[in-house]
Structure 1
Amino acid sequence: MIQPDKPLRLGIAGVGKIARDEHIPSIGRTGGFVLSATASRNAGVDGVAGFRALDEMLAGAPELEAVALCTPPQVRYDMACAAIAAGKHVLLEKPPGVTLSEVHDLVDRAQAAGVTLYATWHSRHAACVETARLWLEQRTVTDGHITWREDVTHWHPGQDWIWEPGGMGVFDPGINALSILTEILPFAVHLVRSTLEVPENRSQPIAASLAFAGPGGAEIEADFDWRQKGPQTWDIRIETTDGTVTLSQGGSRIAFDDSAPKPGSDQHVTEYDRIYRRFSGLIADGRSDVDLAPFRHVADAFMLADIKPTAPFVE
């Protein structure tokens, strides 16, 4: 993959927790970009030009070559359209939008404008995901199980957008598991069952139980829950005719059969470091990367949903 000769000037829209914790540090470490501007109603970055809205940033910092959209997904489509129309390369946080149709439209717009569009799936860049993919590539998968349980009050304190239409509820973290699953399996699966638990005072699910079918009778089940206190669980176990592989801690640890989990070989490079390296390379190569497989599974989960009302959510 070609790398650019000099860092590209990048602007971030949405200076929230994910931007501060992941995007900004990785931009500083990877060398492919320099943070030149931000657009955020309530926050900024010291020493970087700050604007209150994306259109103001595009007008006030025309030298920008790329934009990273780190806002909630409900407002991302219009922002992406504006950035593409201004000739900027665009990085989309996950999920890439709120509907498949709008993301397909962004793909067409980016292609017509001759810019790169990159829909990121950060969990695919966890240290052990590629090891699991290569191991499974040579084996016959029989079944598997995903357990993805965490505490919403820890990861999204006071954030109402996740409970609104388009916020996806428990699929906000659950789509990370689906992004890993669709990366490591040597075949495509399709959803056959979906049960969603929706709090009586919210419109999005707090828990989900899914079942997928694959070729040769392979079955994959998934258990997503946003009510887990204490240690968080991000595990994927895949069984084959020649042993079992388990990814744990979101893909940063791997174990085969009963062996002790071990880390990947490149733990010092973060998921977002790998994202920005890939974004830089895609731009240099004149390509886009928009894989919607994880997003399609979420859409199918809502289409097949057996809705089970559950207790009101109280933070």
Structure 2
Amino acid sequence: MTSIRLAIVGLGKIARDQHLGAIEATSGIDLVAVASRNAKLDGVACFSDIEDLLASGIAIDAVSLCTPPQGRFSQAKAALYAGKHVMLEKPPGATLSEVYALEALAKSKGLSLFSTWHSRAAAAVEPARALLGQRKIRSLSVEWKEDVRHWHPGQAWIWEPGGLGVFDPGINALSIVTRIMPETFHLVASQLTFPANRAAPIAASLSFETASGIPVGAEFDWRQTGPQTWDIRVETEEGSVVLTHGGSRLFVDGEPRMVEEDKEYSNLYRDFVSLVAKGASDTDFSPLVHVADAFMLGRRIQTEAFED
């Protein structure tokens, strides 16, 4: 198989921080073009938007959409209608109906659609999943707290409808939990804290339970300064299983089992190359389903205005 000729759409913070280096480090895929309203990249063809890119006639096989979720549906649809495989940065879209529509469209065109969850690609996730499949779980709790001013400076879209607010990082935790839990779970209570001047929440407190009654709790907050917290703690009858640092480190019964450097995005592009080669898709939208449920059941609490 020849290398996939890839175009990135949206050359913002996440593309520069994660995607560019991961593409360069991954065999079987080459970056040949970029579409961005406000940025250019040396050494590749540059366009102002995906429409100009697709109309240019430049030879590409796939696009990686790194734009905000609002408006991404039209970009993904255009790429699929043009016969291009599509990789979606998380979250895969602004609504459930649009991502399921993209799934159906990709299938009808015989193209690969990859709904990525970068935190699932962290080093400790699969070992934790295998371990929990052998233990009897009593409870699971998530503490996912970070400083929005550090990670999302000046990104106004994230506070608008469809931007998800604190669920932009919180969905990373949910992507891990939906992967490592041996059984499904559903939301039973949701408390969402909104700044007085924002349309998206800055904090969330969620309670879930599995079909067998195992409690699952999650606390998300965007107001934490200093050290950041991305922890998932599972209590089992055999002892504790703890993932820290966003899923890159694993502690079993209090002892370190795995400490790895961040290779999440390299792993994602490796998987995308494999999906395209097989003519397959990966469209697990369950983390977005849980976020949608959180808004549906959410009890709204208003807090002071937030300015970044």
- TM-score, normalized by length of structure 2? 0.98
Deviations 1:272-298 (A, max 9, x none): 111001001001101111001100000
Q: How does 1:20-169 map to 2 (within 5 A)?
A: 20-169=16-165
Comparing 280-289 with 60-69, greater Cα deviation is found at 60-69
Structure 2 residue 275 is the aligned partner of structure 1 residue 282: yes
SS at match of 1:212: strand
Equivalent in 175, 183, 198 of residue 194 of structure 2 = 198
Unaligned segments of structure 2, at least 5 residues: none
SS at match of 1:216: coil
1:302 is aligned to: 295
Comparing 76-85 with 249-258, greater Cα deviation is found at 249-258
Question: How many angstroms apart in 2 are the aligned matches of 1:302 and 1:109?
Answer: 27
Question: How many angstroms apart in 2 are the aligned matches of 1:291 and 1:174?
Answer: 17
Question: How many angstroms apart in 1 are the aligned matches of 2:75 and 2:186?
Answer: 31
Deviations 1:116-168 (A, max 9, x none): 00000000000111110000011121101100000000011111100000000
CA apart distance, 1:260: 4.0
Q: Percent identity?
A: 55
SS at match of 2:139: strand
Amino acid at match of 1:291: D
- Check conservation: 1:191, 1:210, Cα contact below 8 A: yes
Question: How many angstroms apart in 2 are the aligned matches of 1:218 and 1:133?
Answer: 16
Question: How many angstroms apart in 2 are the aligned matches of 1:127 and 1:54?
Answer: 33
1:271 is aligned to: 264
Comparing 135-144 with 190-199, greater Cα deviation is found at 135-144
- Check conservation: 1:32, 1:276, Cα contact below 8 A: no
CA apart distance, 1:113: 1.0
Structure 2 residue 216 is the aligned partner of structure 1 residue 223: no
SS at match of 2:300: strand
CA apart distance, 1:215: 3.3
**Matched positions, count:** 308
2:251 is aligned to: 255
Deviations 1:155-190 (A, max 9, x none): 111111000000000000000000000000001000
Question: How many angstroms apart in 2 are the aligned matches of 1:44 and 1:61?
Answer: 19
Amino acid at match of 2:307: V
Question: How many angstroms apart in 2 are the aligned matches of 1:22 and 1:143?
Answer: 33
Structure 2 residue 168 is the aligned partner of structure 1 residue 182: no
Kindly tell me: are residues 11 and 61 of structure 1, through their superposed partners in 2, closer, same or farther at Cα, counting changes over 3 Å? farther
2:240 is aligned to: 244
- Check conservation: 1:11, 1:35, Cα contact below 8 A: yes
Unaligned segments of structure 1, at least 5 residues: none
Question: How many angstroms apart in 2 are the aligned matches of 1:151 and 1:298?
Answer: 20
Question: How many angstroms apart in 2 are the aligned matches of 1:118 and 1:215?
Answer: 28
- TM-score, normalized by length of structure 1? 0.96
CA apart distance, 1:261: 6.3
